[in-house]
């Protein structure tokens, strides 16, 4: 089986890819590790090969809320090409795996040296801006069950397995809702044969049916990525 590869790095021309990877180091993504702190500039960028990250914001005394998710299709740190602005969110490892890590300074230097890399970094940043805007509207207007279906599909896409560990408490935190709402929606999905859930282990049994239950933002997310990355690859 071929080794998983970050899609942004894969889109680089071979010579540019080799040059870029010469400045990267392999990095283990440990479950629940925090890769960035709110209000602090990013020290490194990460290009996941396996596993995935959640971008969460903390507002006053409220629980954290997920505003973005990224995995092998994307990267953490595209905004570094804009300067050293502090991030408004925390990046947490939601699915363990590995990444290529590069320092902020090296990323900026390589983006200047490799036009193809800069184009892809700009596209990645634009994708995230569009997707986070969509996520804000989704949070405001869509019901819990369709949002949960979307979140489960996004998690399955990035974990690349039908089974993964997740608690109802964590799902409620990521969706910014009360746990009872997630419990009701997950129970409905389980009773309908869409998922199996036991002691934190969740398995997607009927992906097509789960997609039918998801809000329109799931497909919209994928369309945004395809359109913006394809235009710049």
Q: Are residues 77 and 107 in the same domain?
A: yes
Strands 90-103 and 44-57, by their bridges, are antiparallel
The domain that contains 17 carries what CATH number? 2.60.120.10
232 within a domain of the structure (yes/no): no
The two tokens of residue 141 are: 């207007």
Same domain for 180 and 118? no
Q: Does residue 64 sit within a domain?
A: yes
Structural domain contains residue 219:
no
The span from the CA of 125 to the CA of 229, in Å, is 10
* 81 and 149 housed in the same domain: no
pLDDT value of position 1 = 37
Where a domain ends, among 117, 139, 161? Answer: 139
Alpha helices in the chain (DSSP H): 7-11, 14-21, 104-113, 115-141, 144-159, 168-175, 179-191, 207-213, 217-232
- Here the tokens at position 60 are 């006053």
Regions of the chain where pLDDT drops below 70: 1-4, 231-233
Domain coverage including residue 121: 7-139
- Domain limit, last residue, from 96, 117, 139: 139
Same domain, 197 and 83: no
* Residues 72 and 103 reside in one and the same domain: yes
Residues 55 and 27 in one domain: yes
CA pseudo-torsion sign 71, 91, 146, 164: positive
**98 and 50 Cβ atoms separated by less than 8 Å:** yes
Q: Give the closest residue to 151 by CA, choosing from 130, 167, 175.
A: 175
Under 8 Å CB-to-CB from 31, ≥6 apart: which residues? 93, 94, 95, 96
> Quick one: the chain helix, strand, coil %, rounded to 5?
50, 25, 25
Question: Tens digits of per-residue pLDDT, 84-141?
Answer: 778 889 999 999 999 999 999 999 999 999 999 999 999 999 999 999 999 989 989 9
Residue 2 belongs to some domain of the structure: no
Residues 6+ apart with CB under 8 A from 116: 11, 12, 13, 16
One domain for residues 204 and 192? yes
The pTM of this model reads 0.91
Question: Does 108 share its domain with 164?
Answer: no
95 with 152, same domain: the answer is no
Asked if residue 229 belongs to a domain, the reply is no
Q: Is residue 85 part of a domain?
A: yes
Q: Is 171 within the bounds of a domain?
A: yes
135 shares its domain with 148: no
Q: Do 102 and 210 fall within a single domain?
A: no
Domain count along the chain: 2
Neighbouring CB atoms inside 10 A of 83's CB total: 9
Residues 70 and 97 in one domain: yes
**Domain assignment of residue 47, yes or no:** yes
């Amino acid at each position: 089986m071929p080794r998983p590869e970050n899609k942004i790095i894969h889109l680089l021309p071979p010579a540019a890819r080799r040059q870029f990877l010469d400045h990267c180091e392999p990095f283990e993504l440990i479950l629940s590790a925090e890769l960035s702190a709110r209000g602090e500039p990013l020290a490194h960028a990460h290009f996941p090969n396996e596993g995935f990250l959640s971008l969460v914001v903390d507002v006053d005394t409220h629980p954290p809320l997920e505003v973005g998710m990224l995995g092998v299709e994307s990267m953490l740190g595209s905004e570094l090409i804009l300067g050293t602005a502090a991030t408004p969110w925390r990046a947490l490892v939601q699915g363990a795996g590995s990444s290529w890590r590069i320092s902020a300074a090296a990323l900026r230097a390589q983006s200047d040296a490799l036009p193809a890399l800069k184009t892809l970094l700009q596209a990645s940043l634009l994708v995230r801006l569009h997707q986070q805007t969509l996520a804000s509207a989704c949070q405001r207007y869509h019901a819990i069950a369709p949002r949960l279906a979307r979140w489960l599909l996004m998690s399955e896409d990035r974990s690349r397995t039908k089974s993964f560990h997740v608690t109802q408490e964590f799902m409620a935190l990521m969706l910014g809702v009360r746990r009872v709402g997630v419990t009701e929606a997950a129970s409905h999905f389980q009773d309908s044969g869409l998922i199996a859930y036991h002691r934190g282990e969740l398995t997607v049994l009927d992906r097509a049916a789960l997609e039918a239950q998801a809000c329109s933002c799931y497909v919209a997310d994928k369309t945004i990525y395809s359109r913006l990355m394809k235009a710049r690859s």
